[in-house]
Amino acid sequence: MKNLKFLFLFLPFLFTSCEKELIEGPSLNDLYGDLSILEPLNIFGDSADFDNGENIYFTASFSKQVDWSIRILGLTSGSIKIISGKSNFIDQTNSFWEGSSSLLPFFVTEDCEVVLTFEAHVDTLSDILNIQSPKNYNDESTVLITDFEGGFNPNFTNFFQSGCTKALTIGGSGQGSKHLQQFGTCSWDWLIGYIDYGSSFWFNQNTLVNDPSQVFFNIMINGDSTISQVAGVPNSLFKLEFYEDENGDGYYDANSEDRYDYEFDVDWKGWRMVSICYNDAEKLVLAGTNGNGVRNPSKISNVRTLLLANPVSGFAKADVDFLIWSIGAPILN
């Protein structure tokens, strides 16, 4: 009888425990409650020197869990950084900003507009911050090939078809003030032009690590998304060729050394950062037949960029800027 009494006493606790465990998901307040701003948007480090390691973060708090987004717009550069999350607060843990961009071009020394918005709510908070000096992407974890700020290195050999253009241009760049324009029409060949960026003339002579899974090639490309009137597809085709000097004699031998290729359509308008892991097995293809078939980033002697287009399709364009290797992650991670 005592055991039976104990069972009756235990059952309500069991049902109560089960009911609590069944309550999952967002609260009714998070789902249907009004959004109130408990703490307005604040900027900590509202005048940052990113080049010297300073950073910025934001704070705010709300009456409910909500999807929020902070949009930072460079008022001079037009660069954009997006920081987003889902919470009832914003602090250093979810809004830390070290000066990087989400959308090119890069930020410059400038004032920025900061706008905080909420999904499914009309509330908007805004403020202004200042960048004393922009983030420097060329550090100990990168190898800069060129940013064109010092002009086009004459040691980088190139060929462009008659009537096609390769021209150093000031203004409207993805990074800094200068970039390289590449465009034209060639009715007799797929090739618009190519440039060989020999490693002995790279801006930064740091050695790449030899783990291909940790090495990323990054290049800014400015497209105009020209559509072929013949094929109905983007007409600008971009190709990268990576040449390995495996025996260290200073030359690439197609009969005994490897070359890896990467090819893609430039099907967008404006600047975009393209980043490629050197160990990308799906897109990096062994071109030579007599090499050792092992990707050795530290033995790369040349990077060739090629602008291609169907000769019957007309105009192609793909400007370039800021060619840089990064170790461990893409330059805009």
Q: What are the sequence ranges of the domains in the chain?
A: 30-133, 142-327
Mean pLDDT, the chain, whole residue set:
87
Cα distance between residue 267 and residue 234, in whole Å: 5
Helices (H), the chain: 2-22, 28-32, 92-95
Helix H or strand E encompassing 224: strand 215-224
Structure tokens at 46: 């509202």
Residue 11 confidence (pLDDT): 44
Question: For the chain, what percent of residues have pLDDT higher than 90?
Answer: 68
Q: What is the mean pLDDT of residues 27-42?
A: 77
Same fold, 30-133 and 142-327: no
Q: Does the predicted TM-score (pTM) go above 0.75?
A: yes
If one compares 288 and 256, the residue with the highest pLDDT of the two is 256
For the segment 116-125, what is each residue's pLDDT rounded down to a tens digit?
Answer: 999 988 888 9
Residue 293 confidence (pLDDT): 83
Looking at domain 142-327, which CATH architecture does it have?
A: Sandwich (2.60)
Lowest mean per-residue pLDDT among 40-49, 52-61, 212-221? 40-49
Going by the DSSP 8-state scheme, the letter that residue 10 receives in this structure is H
Residue 277 has pLDDT above 50, yes or no: yes
Quickly list DSSP for 12-81. HHHHHHHHHHH--S--HHHHHSPP-EEEEEEEESSEEEGGGT--BEEEEEEEEEEEEEEEEEETTT--EE
Looking at domain 30-133, which CATH architecture does it have?
A: Sandwich (2.60)
Residue 192 has pLDDT above 80, yes or no: yes
Lowest mean per-residue pLDDT among 3-12, 24-33, 120-129, 295-304? 3-12
Lowest mean per-residue pLDDT among 247-251, 300-304, 328-332? 247-251
pLDDT band at 153 (very low <50, low <70, confident <90, very high): very high
Residue 33 confidence (pLDDT): 61
Residue-wise burial string across 255-274, b where 16 or more C-beta atoms lie within 10 A, e elsewhere: eebbbbebeeebeeeebbbb
Helix H or strand E encompassing 182: strand 178-184
Residue 204 has pLDDT above 70, yes or no: yes
Q: How many CA atoms lie within 13 A of 215 on its CB side?
A: 20
> Which residues make beta-bridge pairs with 167?
181
Straight-line distance from the first to the last Cα atom of the chain, in angstroms, rounded to the nearest whole number: 68
Q: What is the mean pLDDT of residues 251-257?
A: 87
Residue 207 confidence (pLDDT): 85
Q: How many CA atoms lie within 13 A of 72 on its CB side?
A: 29
pLDDT band at 26 (very low <50, low <70, confident <90, very high): low
Residue 254 confidence (pLDDT): 84
> Which residues make beta-bridge pairs with 276?
217
